[in-house]
């Protein structure tokens, strides 16, 4: 038996998120089907990050076990032939049998992208959140620094979160505007709560558009109350960039 | 009567090109409908560039005449409310009554984008042409320089071209690879023949993948024969970036 780790990229626009569910097509379902088809028996993957409906990934991670003799690194090509075009395996590799994508220690990297200008760009609408009011990016970057470190992120988690603890560590966060008016919130941490990055993005947009006072993010964090933070920003701006093990 | 110039951006994926035609939905048709709806009578636009099915634009240009008293620069907002999300007016402005988007002297800027790596990126598939064999970008750039200047571009025009002359001027062309393995062919000229940029791209890909000898582009140009150049590269890589008047 061999455990295989897959690096999975996808355009989440047309899917009801990562995780298999009874109503609606999911990325994991498509992946399980492709693998079962390739190896001729039912295969169920274990995913690292259960991204939400409409959220994208450049490097989500999934594992599965197989007794196939195909070299693990060749599998990406064979799996891709059986996947829809909007899901692409970037890498397949053998890992040890005890490797678990969700329980292993990780650094997860997410980016939330906002197009901040007068009119939308049709070539970016699937992969950025369009926001036309001017955003003060240096202020957003400054506010965001309050989130760095180990904290109770209750204020920045969906009230529907199912978790034993709201304590997570954010290693770094930055907010930058590029020459095409795309603002990127880049955040790295040891794990994220349900909707955490989107609530951080929604809160930073409130701060950056002058709708909250300086210190808003720090206060929201300290309140340990979902009501104290901003709204959950829409899914199209969010990309799971990579997971480092 | 006022003549209004529109700067039009669109994701061409779902459209049968710019120009109104009996079979299939076009960008110009959607724009004419939005304008007719806004001003309460039938309006027909004149477009600058009849982009092909599947080709994108950041700055195509169209004009129309109206006796509306709405300030021209406000029209973009009102038109956008009546357009589908994948067509967006970036600017509306009054021009002189004799301004014609196709017969006026122009500099047109096109970009053709190729994703050149082992596996496709689902977030780029709509806006780049995926090509997995390694491309020699400095060689492509060198080969492309033969196209600069005033030439008879018969070899680089669709045999279906309807034109009095195949002579056009390319002001500049460059081929560059960025850090994400996107190769961009950037070309500026006074006008382009039917499929010209896509045939240039298809020919440069042949040159860059080592399937033709050095000097291929120059020889193809001199042959004045469509058979001497490479294939027409797929539409998804092409973007009409802007038209300078």
Interior CA angle at B136 toward B131 and B137, to 5°? 90
Let me know: does A156 contact A193? Beta carbons within 8 Å. yes
Q: Is residue B245 annotated as involved in ligand binding?
A: no
Do B163 and B53 lie in one domain? The reply is: no
B166 touches A: beta carbon within 8 Å: no
Structural domain contains residue B101: no
Do A126 and A167 lie in one domain? The reply is: yes
Please tell me which residue of chain B has the smallest CA distance to A130: B85
Identify the pLDDT of residue B161.
86
Among candidate residues A92, A91, A49, A43, the one with its CA nearest the CA of residue A65:
A43
Structural domain contains residue B100: no
Q: How far is CA A224 from the centre of its chain?
A: 23
Identify the pLDDT of residue B180.
94
In this structure, the number of other CB atoms found within 10 A of the CB of residue A205 comes to 25
Do A222 and A132 lie in one domain? The reply is: yes
Residues whose CB is less than 8 angstroms from the CB of residue A230 and which lie 6 or more positions away in sequence, other chains included: A199, A202, A203, A204, A205, A206, A207, A212, A220
Residues of B in Cβ contact (< 8 Å) with A239: 123
Do A217 and A164 lie in one domain? The reply is: yes
B123 touches A: beta carbon within 8 Å: yes
Do A64 and A179 lie in one domain? The reply is: no
Do A240 and A192 lie in one domain? The reply is: yes
Domain final residue, candidates A95, A126, A155: A95
CA distance B56 to chain A (A): 8
Do A90 and A175 lie in one domain? The reply is: no
Structural domain contains residue A44: yes
CATH number of the domain that A174 lies in? 3.30.70.660
| Number of cross-chain residue pairs from A and B with Cβ atoms under 8 Å apart | 59
Q: How far apart are CA B13 and CA B26, in angstroms?
A: 11
Residues of B in Cβ contact (< 8 Å) with A56: 122-123
List the beta bridge partners of residue B29: none
Burial class (CB in 10 A: 0-12, 13-18, 19+), A6: buried
Among candidate residues B49, B45, B37, B42, the one with its CA nearest the CA of residue B80:
B37
Per-residue pLDDT tens, chain B, 245 aa: give them: 999 999 999 999 999 999 999 989 999 999 999 999 999 999 999 999 999 999 999 999 999 999 999 999 999 999 999 999 999 999 999 999 999 998 888 999 999 999 999 999 999 999 999 999 999 999 999 999 999 999 999 999 999 888 889 999 999 999 999 999 999 999 999 999 999 999 999 999 999 999 999 999 999 999 999 999 999 999 999 999 999 99
Please tell me which residue of chain B has the smallest CA distance to A124: B11
Residues whose CB is less than 8 angstroms from the CB of residue A103 and which lie 6 or more positions away in sequence, other chains included: none
Q: How far apart are CA B228 and CA B33, in angstroms?
A: 42
Residue A21 domain boundaries: 2-95
Catalytic (active site) residue A52:
yes
Q: How far apart are CA A43 and CA A65, in angstroms?
A: 8
Q: Encode burial over A94-118: b for 16+ CB neighbours within 10 A, e otherwise.
A: ebeeebebeeeebebbbbbbbbbee
List the beta bridge partners of residue A64: A4
> Which of B88, B123, B235, B242 to mutate: most A Cβ within 10 Å?
B123
CA distance A89 to chain B (A): 8
Domain count, chain A: 2
A60 touches B: beta carbon within 8 Å: no
Do B124 and B232 lie in one domain? The reply is: yes
Residues whose CB is less than 8 angstroms from the CB of residue A164 and which lie 6 or more positions away in sequence, other chains included: none
Do B217 and B136 lie in one domain? The reply is: yes
Among candidate residues A14, A12, A17, A10, the one with its CA nearest the CA of residue A53:
A17
Structural domain contains residue B115: yes
Domain final residue, candidates A95, A120, A140: A95
Phi, then psi, of B114 in degrees rounded to 5: -120, 130
Domain final residue, candidates A35, A61, A95: A95
């Amino acid at each position: 038996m061999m455990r295989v780790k897959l690096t999975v990229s996808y355009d989440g626009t047309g899917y009801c998120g990562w995780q298999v569910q009874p109503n609606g097509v999911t990325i994991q379902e498509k992946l399980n089907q492709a693998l079962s088809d390739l190896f001729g028996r039912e295969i169920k993957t274990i995913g690292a990050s259960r991204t939400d409906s409409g959220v994208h990934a450049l490097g989500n991670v999934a594992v599965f076990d197989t007794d196939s003799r195909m070299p693990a690194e060749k599998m990406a090509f064979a799996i891709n032939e059986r996947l829809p075009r909007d899901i692409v395996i970037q890498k397949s590799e053998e890992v040890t049998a005890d490797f678990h994508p969700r329980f292993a220690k990780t650094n997860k990297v997410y980016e939330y992208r906002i197009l901040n200008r007068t009119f939308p760009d049709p070539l970016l609408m699937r992969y950025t959140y369009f926001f036309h009011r001017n955003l003060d990016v240096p202020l957003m970057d400054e506010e965001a620094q309050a989130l760095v470190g180990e904290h109770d992120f209750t204020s920045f988690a969906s009230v529907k979160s199912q978790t034993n603890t709201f304590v997570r560590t954010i290693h770094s966060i930055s907010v930058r505007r590029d020459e095409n008016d795309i603002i990127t919130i880049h955040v790295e941490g040891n794990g994220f709560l349900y909707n955490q990055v989107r609530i951080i993005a929604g809160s930073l947009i409130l701060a950056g558009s002058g709708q909250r006072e300086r210190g808003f993010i720090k206060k929201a964090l300290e309140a340990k109350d979902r009501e104290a933070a901003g709204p959950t920003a829409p899914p199209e701006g969010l990309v799971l960039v990579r997971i480092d093990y």
